[in-house]
Amino acid sequence: MKIYKKLHVIQKAVSGLKKDKSTYNYDYVTGAKILSFIKPLMDSEGLILKQEILDIENIRQDYVTSKAKDVNEILSKVMMRFTWVDIETGDVDINLFGANGQNGWDKGVGSALTYAERYFLLKYFHIATDEDDIDQPKPLLSDDKLKGYEKWDAKQKEAVKKQFDLTPEQIKKLK
């Protein structure tokens, strides 16, 4: 299967994620939540995502808060290259992505890198996060996960039916 077909499998499987964290009056989907949906699909499709930092610019930010507190932070701007690699064929899909992060002196670059990964994945796969209650469909079951299903007991079959969306052929196999 070509790399874009494999990436499309992931895009079809994750249509939306509900925001799961709040900080400073800002709600967002955490990187851990995104990866908990995307990583198993990457693994089953044989894809890795290589992340490279191409450029970092750090700018000192001095300001006074509304409570008259002096603050010194670093605004880190990163330019990254995200490369999808198909481990079976060696096909690649190369993408440039920029992100910023502002935080304490030692955390600016980390904030920018975390933001870049999170938003690259959300935007690449067109994953909605702006609805109040997103009904995330179950992931599709790949046929390789059905290997040995003949030996499964009824409890194992029911667990798979609850966890995954199944094709009509897969449903017949698990009866």
Q: Residue 38: which CATH number?
A: 3.30.390
Nearest to 161 by CA among 152, 11, 17: 152
Q: Do 95 and 155 fall within a single domain?
A: no
Residue type, 114: T
Phi, psi of 73 (to 5 degrees): -135, 170
Q: Do 132 and 175 fall within a single domain?
A: no
For residue 160, the enclosing domain spans: 138-175
The two three-digit tokens of residue 151, written as one number: 């030996």
Nearest to 122 by CA among 53, 12, 34, 40: 34
Q: Do 172 and 104 fall within a single domain?
A: no
Q: Do 100 and 17 fall within a single domain?
A: yes
Q: Do 118 and 144 fall within a single domain?
A: no
pLDDT, residue 132, reads 46
Q: Do 73 and 85 fall within a single domain?
A: yes
Given a cut of 70, the residues of the chain with pLDDT beneath it are 131-138
Q: How many domains does the chain have?
A: 2
Q: Do 13 and 35 fall within a single domain?
A: yes
Nearest to 8 by CA among 86, 71, 78, 100: 86
Residue 82: HSE in the Cβ half-sphere, 13 Å Cα cutoff = 18
Q: Do 38 and 108 fall within a single domain?
A: yes
26-28 and 21-23 beta bridge pairing: antiparallel
| pTM recorded for the entire structure | 0.70
Q: Do 36 and 106 fall within a single domain?
A: yes
Q: Do 45 and 105 fall within a single domain?
A: yes
Phi, psi of 86 (to 5 degrees): -85, 115
Q: Do 9 and 63 fall within a single domain?
A: yes
Helices and strands counted in the chain (H then E): 5, 5
